[in-house]
Amino acid sequence: MVLKIFFPQCCNMADSGLLVGRWIPGQDSAVVLAVIHYPFIPGQVKRYLSQLQSESQVELAVLGSWSMPKEGQEGMESFLRDLSTIFPRGRWLQLSREIGQRGFACQVVRAPPADGEGDGGDGDGNGGEGEVIFVHYEQRKVMLSQLHPPEGAGGGGGGGAELLQLRLVFRTVAQSQPLFFIDKYDDGPLKLTHWQSQGREASIIVELAKQASVPLCLLLTWLLSLWTWLCSIRLLNLSPVRFVSSKLSTCVQVSYRTEHLQTVSSPKKASEHKSFMRKANIFVSFLLDVALGLLLISWLYRENRIGRLADTLVPLADRVAKELQELLEWLMGAPAGLKMNRALDQVLGRFFLYHIHLWISYIHLMSPFIEGILWYVGLCACLGLTFALSVLSDIVALLTFHIYCFYVYGARLYCLKIYGLSSLWRLFRGKKWNVLRQRVDSCSYDLDQLFIGTLLFTILLFLLPTTALYYLVFTLLHLVVVVLQGLIHLSVDFINSFPLFAMALRLFQPYRLAEGVKFRVLSEEPGKPLHLMMEINPLRYSSVLQWYRTPTYSCYPKDSWAALCKKLFVGELLYPWRHKGTKID
């Protein structure tokens, strides 16, 4: 049987006293948390431990004694050994260290009999308990660390038992924080040695931030409740308003940030590690977003960049419209030497040219107001860079709305012909589509039906190349706009979901996010216990991103690439604003 004793490095040179810690339930191991120095009164120690158990919810107990030889304390070891009768446990650890030696000896003494005769030990170095292994650990790192299960870790076998033991050790140290509030310099009946023995860590800035966060959270909660009340007005909940707001990226980002601010300003304390990390990641992401937005504002409103941008926007829209007009005139001729249906080609070309004429007239009508609109729209960047990018996405969608209309017209016409040809092709094979059972069934047609079907099939087939060419051209233009909007949405999604706080912890304090531990041999001498050093393996950056990425809406297509190609082939519409989980009726 191997007895594991997890021993803190800060107690290696502690004065003689009692070992305070916990026996791991179901595991043949013990965790040492602190050393209570002599002199002490056993009754005070018991009252102190019972008080700590109610505060930390950890079953703390006296595990044994610790001896560090000093002048004038020659009989200290025998005195501490006799204390096993006052603090009865199943086993009593007697640890001693000699100055100048790296390791220290251990004797495990069984609890004395009821009549108090004998000490229960057999006098050997390990007290008849078998091999003893000391696992040294850095108490502060283990207390602040969060152990994550490694990838591919199974629940059974020896690996699962070792992982459970490590989790219990980490949890015991983390839940024993009230034990670390008293150090050996405090005026009190008990003097302890633990990781804060040289004085408790404190930060004036952190304490002031904690005090100031309470009124700020109350003010933010009141403002959010007022905003929620304004959004719940009946006029804003009408179907047309809700439909338009659900398609605008700015409105979606506002609702998303409102939900995040409600999470951050919630008075409920984040007791769990994951909820705390979520709040911290959202808060840091919001601060970074606002900082980038303020930098953008400082750049936009210097050297009259807003005016120059407005002067560039109208000629750019005219240039795009002119290029589209030239493209349509090219399609109305003989594009690439293809022989098109003249009548249909002229009808489609003139129809789209009329839309371009309307669009140019609209742009020139709005040109005197564009600079003022951009000036006020640029102020939204003070809410964050994501708001500015969302507004940019909506501006791109509005400026290219005529391209989207061309794509919808071409796709609907192409889809109608594709489905008409497929339905007529089933007619020639004596089949029909059963709408009720959603399958193809056999059917018999008379001569008139076959004649009409053949006539319609011939007409649709000869008109298909002209329609397909227009559909192909406008689909490619629409995909260019979708890719541009997709890049903007990806940038917004990256800022919203990137766990910046967790990544900073992984970079500057890698022990805070642990994936496991590794052991290094400190001392291995024959006849003496083995001493190991437990070091924390930090979580990989990819795992940090996977664990702490903030859930957010996504602009990625819901369908696979095969389904996307199928939609393009049959002419189904691609919605650039369609997010995961949304349904289009």
* Fold of the CATH domain 2-193: Cytidine Deaminase; domain 2 (3.40.140)
Q: Can you give the pLDDT at residue 120?
A: 37
3-state SS record for 554-578: CCCCCCCHHHHHHHHHHCCCCCCCC
Q: Can you give the pLDDT at residue 580?
A: 44
List the domain boundaries for the chain: 2-193, 204-297, 300-498+550-570
The DSSP output letter for 26 is T
Q: How many percent of the chain have pLDDT more than 90?
A: 6
Question: Range with the lowest mean pLDDT among 157-171, 357-371, 377-391?
Answer: 157-171
By C-alpha distance, which of 91, 50, 63, 68 is closest to 179?
50
Q: Answer with the residue of higher pLDDT: 432 or 115.
A: 432
Cα separation of 309 and 374, whole Å? 9
Q: Can you give the pLDDT at residue 236?
A: 62
Q: Can you give the pLDDT at residue 559?
A: 60
Cα separation of 1 and 25, whole Å? 16
What mean pLDDT is predicted for residues 7-15? 85
Res 116 pLDDT > 70 = no
Q: Can you give the pLDDT at residue 187?
A: 60
Cα separation of 164 and 441, whole Å? 60
- Whether this model's pTM surpasses 0.85: no
Q: How many percent of the chain have pLDDT more than 70?
A: 80
Residue-wise pLDDT for 213-241, tens only, equals 667 667 767 777 776 766 666 666 666 76
Residue-wise pLDDT for 274-317, tens only, equals 888 888 898 899 899 999 999 998 888 888 888 888 888 888 88
**Binning pLDDT at 50, 70 and 90, where does residue 47 land?**
confident
Q: Answer with the residue of higher pLDDT: 186 or 41.
A: 41
Res 266 pLDDT > 70 = yes
Cα separation of 545 and 146, whole Å? 15
Per-residue b or e along 368-384, where b marks 16 or more CB atoms closer than 10 Å to that residue's CB = eebbeebeebbebbebb
3-state SS record for 58-104: CCCEEEEEEECCCCCCCCHHHHHHHHHHCCCCCEEEEEECCCCCCCC
Cα separation of 581 and 553, whole Å? 9
Terminal CA-CA length for the chain: 67
Burial degree of 39 (CB within 10 A; 0-12, 13-18, 19+): exposed
Q: How many residues make up the chain in this entry?
A: 585
What mean pLDDT is predicted for residues 436-447? 78
Name residues whose C-beta falls within 8 Å of residue 551's C-beta, 6 or more positions apart in sequence.
497
CB 260 within 8 A of CB 290: no
Q: Can you give the pLDDT at residue 507?
A: 92
Mean pLDDT value across the chain: 79
Cα separation of 497 and 490, whole Å? 10
Res 503 pLDDT > 90 = yes
Bridge partners of 93, per DSSP, are: 64, 108
Cα separation of 402 and 390, whole Å? 20
**Binning pLDDT at 50, 70 and 90, where does residue 206 land?**
low
What is the identity of the amino acid at 384? Answer: G
**Binning pLDDT at 50, 70 and 90, where does residue 126 land?**
very low
Q: Can you give the pLDDT at residue 185?
A: 58
Bridge partners of 96, per DSSP, are: 67, 105
Q: Answer with the residue of higher pLDDT: 79 or 61.
A: 61
Q: Can you give the pLDDT at residue 209?
A: 65
Residue-wise pLDDT for 139-193, tens only, equals 888 888 888 877 655 444 445 677 888 888 888 888 888 888 766 555 667 788 8
What is the identity of the amino acid at 463? Answer: L
Residue-wise pLDDT for 544-578, tens only, equals 988 998 877 554 445 667 877 888 888 888 765 44
Q: Answer with the residue of higher pLDDT: 47 or 129.
A: 47
What is the 3-state composition of the chain as percent helix, strand, coil, each rounded to the nearest 5? 60, 15, 30
Instruction: Give the angle subtended at the CA of 9 by the CAs of 7 and 13, to the nearest 5°.
Output: 105
